[in-house]
Amino acid sequence: MTDLTTRYLGLYLKNPLVAASSGYTGSLEHLKELEKNGIGAIVLKSIFEEEIINDYHQRLNADDRFGSNIEFLDYYDYDLKEESLNDYIQLIKDAKHELSVPIIASVNCVTSQEWTQFAVKLQDAGADALELNIFIMPTDTKKSGREIEDEYIKIAKKIKSSITIPVAIKMSPYFSNVSEMIQKLDKTGVSGLVLFNRSYNMDFNIKKMKVTASSNVFSNPEDYTLPLRWIAVNSNNVNCSLAASTGIHNGESFVKLLLAGATVVQIASTIYLNGPEYITSILSELEDWMREHKYLNVDQFRGKLSRDKVKNPAEFERVQFMKHFGNKEI
Ligand SMILES: Cc1cc2nc3c(=O)[nH]c(=O)nc-3n(C[C@H](O)[C@H](O)[C@H](O)COP(=O)(O)O)c2cc1C
């Protein structure tokens, strides 16, 4: 009998497979499907910081009832944002009432302002943990890389001091020294890091000469090598949990990320592409592999191929094709 139980963000999970935040995890009906098919925990779809703020500004502009009366505006400000959050809070409450797997709320944010006061409401609604997806697009040429990094740390610290439930930061791989950033975020005392978020991409329509959204919404099954490298490099050097996200589409890449040292693996694209029933196949593949290799529980092999545990750690640093493929026809 294989034991898949895992501790993630201090929470008890029956297995290390987690549904990543996506539109799919935004309805109670889907959440029930995920639980029915054996998922270990669920990250709800994100509520967006910009969404709350834009919604607030739009409605404020459309309503001149209060003119410039500041006292009324203060009240109105609070009231409007509260309204924007109600649906999300209801989703958390319903999920906690109807499901038994851990429910992780998610906020997409770019600043440490505005929304942090509302994190308490997500906690009060019963969320078991909070995942913050932070992506600051570095389009401001006057801002240094260090300043942007400091903003991430500020957000992590601010949210940590605002709530008592565990906090995970979902970050991007686009830092000059991503390992340093992982270490710095770990030192803020967050309970987990999710490596990595996948940014929404823009595209051009050359017929209409327009900027469009990229149709490339889902990851590809070979994309898992990005989190694989950085989890393998960092898994022995952090105190917090590490969740792998991006490109894990099947049982094989699931096993690989655990061997790299991931505490859990998050999946989104494969749920969309193969349906929630595919969760049972992914879990069976893991169990079959564990039986074949005579592992009784996940801790027996987690991190076994991380950088600090392999004979030739130089493999993790190889970035150029020349040496490996230089003389081969591919
Ligand atoms: C349709 C769709 C919607 C998503 N929405 C969110 C979101 O609201 N918040 C978030 O943090 N990530 C969101 N993601 C990103 C996923 O959580 C995940 O990090 C990313 O898709 C990489 O994982 P995958 O390769 O398993 O898809 C979304 C992904 C997809 C495909």
Tokens of 275: 């349906």
| Residues 19/153/129/102 CA torsion (nearest 10 deg) | 30
Residue 197's DSSP bridge partners are none
> Does residue 83 register a pLDDT over 70?
no
C-alpha 65 to ligand 1 mean position (Å): 39
Q: How many angstroms separate the alpha carbon of residue 313 from the centre of ligand 1?
A: 31
- Which amino acid residue places its CA nearest to atom 22 of ligand 1? 246
Ligand 1 centroid to Cα of residue 214, in Å, is: 14
What are the backbone dihedrals phi and psi of residue 123, each rounded to the nearest 5 degrees, phi first? Answer: -65, -45
User: What average pLDDT does range 230-246 have in this prediction?
Assistant: 97
Stretch (H or E) spanning 231: helix 225-234
What is the DSSP annotation of 159-212? HHHH-SS-EEEEE-S-STTHHHHHHHHHHTT-SEEEE------EEEETTTTEEE
Residue among 318, 152, 166 at smallest CA distance from 232? 318
Model pLDDT, residue 301? 98
Top pLDDT among 52 and 134 is at: 134
Would you say the CB of residue 30 lies under 6 angstroms from ligand 1? no
Q: What is the DSSP letter of 318?
A: -
**Residue 147 and residue 176: Cα distance in Å, rounded?**
13
In this prediction, residue 135 has a pLDDT band, given cuts at 50, 70 and 90, of confident
Q: Which two tokens stand for residue 102?
A: 């851990």
Count of CB atoms situated within 10 Å of the CB of 91: 22
Per the prediction, the chain carries an average pLDDT of 89
* Residue minimizing CA distance to atom 3 of ligand 1: 22
pLDDT confidence of residue 79? 56
Mutate to test the pocket of ligand 1, among 198, 217, 253 (most ligand atoms within 8 A of CB): 198
**Is 307 a pocket residue for ligand 1 (Cβ < 6 Å)?**
no
Residue type, 16: P
Residue 77 is predicted with a pLDDT of: 54
Q: Is the CB of 22 under 6 A from ligand 1?
A: yes
- Rounded to whole angstroms, the Cα distance separating 106 from 167 reads 10
User: Mean of the pLDDT values across residues 25-49?
Assistant: 96
Residue 73: count of CB within 10 angstroms of its CB = 13
Beta-carbon contacts of residue 135 (< 8 Å; ≥ 6 apart): 108, 110, 172, 197, 199
Q: Can you read off the two tokens belonging to residue 157?
A: 């610290």
Ligand 1 atom closest to Cα of residue 21: 17
Is the pLDDT confidence value at 323 over 80?
no
Residue minimizing CA distance to atom 12 of ligand 1: 21
CA 322 to chain centre: 34
CA 53, 56, 59, 61 dihedral sign is negative
Ligand 1 lined by 267 (C-beta under 6 Å): yes
| 129 φ/ψ sector (left φ>0, alpha ψ -120 to 50, else beta) | beta
| Ligand 1 atom nearest 26 alpha carbon | 8
Q: Say which residues have a Cβ less than 8 Å from residue 247's Cβ, sequence separation at least 6.
A: 219, 220, 221, 222, 223, 224, 225, 226, 227, 253, 269
Cα 309 from chain centroid (whole Å): 26
Helix axes 70-98, 49-62, angle to 10 degrees: 140
- pLDDT tier at 166 (50, 70, 90 boundaries)? very high
- For residue 48, the model assigns a pLDDT of 79
Confidence at residue 324, expressed as pLDDT on a 0 to 100 scale? 61
Residue 167 Cα to ligand 1 middle (Å): 18
C-alpha 46/C-alpha 133 separation (Å) is 8
Q: Is 84 in the pocket of ligand 1 (CB under 6 A)?
A: no
Cα–Cα distance between 289 and 258 in angstroms, integer? 12
* Whether 35 contacts 28, CB under 8 Å: no
Specify the pTM.
Answer: 0.90
In whole angstroms, what is the distance from residue 157 CA to residue 169 CA? 11
